[in-house]
Structure 1
Amino acid sequence: MVNNAAKTRRTWMFIFLAVGLLGFGFYINQLMNGLVVTGMYNSVSWGLYIITFAFLVGLSAGGLIVSSSAYVLKIEKLKSVAPVGIVVAVACIIGAAAMIMADVGHPERVLNIVFGGRYTSPIAWDFLVISIYLCIGLYECWIFFSKKWRGETEEKRERVLARAAIFSLPIALLVHSITAWIFGLQVGKPYWDTALMAPIFISSAVVSGIGVLLIIAYLGRKAGIPGLDQENVGTLAKILIGFVILDLFLLFCDLFTLVYSGGTVQAEAALMILTGKFAPLLWIELIVGMAVPLFILSNKATNRSPGWLAVAGFLVMAAVFLKRINIILPGFMVLNIADQPGVSTGRFVQSSGQFFEAGKSSFTAMTAYAPTLNEIAITVGVLSLVALIITYGVGLVMNIDPHSSKAAVAGKQRALGGKNLTSGAAE
């Protein structure tokens, strides 16, 4: 069974690698031709790349919050889930960084943050905290999976992981808070300018992070992924119920506050979500992505089934992705300058001569956005990279021998003639 699982895992890794390389080919095309191959322009400067970036940061933060809480809050049941959680955290933060590389156009422009960035800017804060976050995640992976630490006592490993979790849990909360502040501190976009942005991002991060763990538990059910047994999955499901309800409450508070005042730019953007062009996404999020998973998670006939729990996990992840769309794009759709000719599109229009473009203008009072094939291909390629890293990481988790630490201690004690027994060996 294990051999079959390993073969299946390698097959999926090969598929993810192939899709990732295809996406990289589209990225090369973007490097050669510039961001003109995307659907973004002056009025909508953030599109699918930043939506996916925010989504992956949420998945990553959710995974690390779950794994770190086990040690900081001393939740014993979640300690065995921590290795999978940290794998998800590292994979998704790498994917988030890749989306930033795609969005800036040229990767070397990221160095502008290092050498010329203003550290009063949330973007600079985000760059710094994501770098620290990745280092902490890789450090915890080293503790979980390296041969050096496998030979140590379980007690020592837990002490080190507990100390690391004291730093990683605040960093996980901070990385998503700062990502939210990139939007929430922009007074030029009134729809984003709300104190609830960070709590909304954090609650949905935990929702999506637990969702991906439920999917991994189902996909690896035959091989038996350590930490994702029926009991721990049940605990994750209960936590998920609480955070889905919290997420719904924060969403209601935000939209109700914006709409109730009326007559403002914020209210116009909120109405666009409730009854306008983004309304289908909202109602799919609420009904399919929130109400249905709550029914699955709270119904005794379904909440014990790994398949149904995986469905709930997928639906809440989809709901969080739709939420990211409804947070980011409406902020661009309502312009603060409504007078003609509007705002510049950033595109030169030939007004006469051989290349005259009738009916076209360099200005617009209305905005619209749709991702191009190039954007979609690059995004799918990055998501495949994330899936590749998670699949490889799950293989490392499955190779963890829960008895290796005790065996190592016993071996040391035999070498010492049974003297100076540690608490781990005595246990």
Structure 2
Amino acid sequence: MEQRKLYSAALVLLLIITFVAILLQFYLMERTLLLHPGNTANVSAISDKSINGKSEATITEKDGKWLLTCQIMPSQYSWPFCELSINFFKGKTIGQGIDLSSFSSVYIKARYLNKGHDSLRFQLRTFNPEYGRFDNQDTWKYVGIEYWPERSAESNNLPLKSLQVATWWIVEQKLPIKYAVPEFDNVMVLELATGNNIQPGQYLIEVEYIEFTGKYFTNSQVLFFLISLWVTSAACFLFYSLRWSYKQLSETEKRAEDLKQLNQLLNVKTKELKDQAERDPLTGALNRAGIEKIFTKELEVLSLMFIDIDHFKSINDNHGHAVGDDILREFSKLISQNCRFTDFLARWGGEEFLLVCPNTALEDAYDLAQALRKLISDHQWANNIRLTASFGVAQQGNESPTAFIERADKALYDAKVRGRNQVVLSAH
């Protein structure tokens, strides 16, 4: 039952964690990276003049926006352009840029202030030491897309998964197929350039901001976390179940062995429990007739405790016999509840009791007697009576039951002589 409750509680906890993780992933945990003139350094203007073209480009800041002035000039270079460039890489030899892999889209607030061309090219330059060289920017991967910002507001929101690696660059670098995919974990440069087929002339491009949005964790990371959580929990539950089953099996085997050895005693006890004539009517313990049958059985080891309530007569004298009877009943109940189910308690007479312990060595019987003695002393008795008991403990030898009981009685007498509230072992 306890194991089932534990499993149910753990399952509920796992479901709550899963639900909360999914809720946070889809509706919260948003992260953004906003690039604008107020927080972005290393911004420059580049044109085809850097690769033998003739176009000119300058960049200024006006009203909290970047203004890219571009003069496209015809030349032998077939793909004239101007662009706004933002450098992310640190130093000249480190080769470390910015990780944008956790972002899912980028929103670009940019437009042409004059007519004549309407497309822009957004691209990222990424560095991977597996195939590139930091000192050669031609080996940095081109990942980009061309879009038309004026067509609709949604046109400015670019999913990063829509970006593609430039085919001409793959061919030029003879890049292995496994690397011919977009990478965003080490972006060195961001570029916003004029689109393809731009005609000669002057163009003004206004860039208000570039904003990346995404999650702190990717869907794949959250899924991996949840799968790992469930698999780990299942493994723990399985381990706990196997361990619990092994423990139960061991305990069952031990109980079976004990039951096999004590089967004869259990049959005797069952018969005696049914025979109310062999029980003391006041305390419910066995009487002398009931205890005699125990000594007729052949047992390998048998120990006996002779127990006497100290100064019981003063209880009757000071509190009355009714209280004395209550004490005897409570005393019998306390002993019965704190000994083994194979032990037999009998009221020998008055305030004297016998506790017969089959298959019990003398040392074990002594330890049990000490525990019972302390239990009696610490117990809260009726009328706040302070109660103690004396114990005589013996183990049966090659002797008659009468001699055995007398030897335990002698040990009890010695316990009283020594000041009561004692446990004394009988010498053979």
Query: Would the TM-score normalized by the shorter structure come out above 0.5?
Result: no
The TM-score with structure 1 as length reference comes to 0.19
Greater percentage in helix = 1
Mark the structure with the bigger radius of gyration: 2
Higher RCO (C-alpha 8 Å, min separation 6)? 1
Greater percentage in strand = 2
The TM-score with structure 2 as length reference comes to 0.19
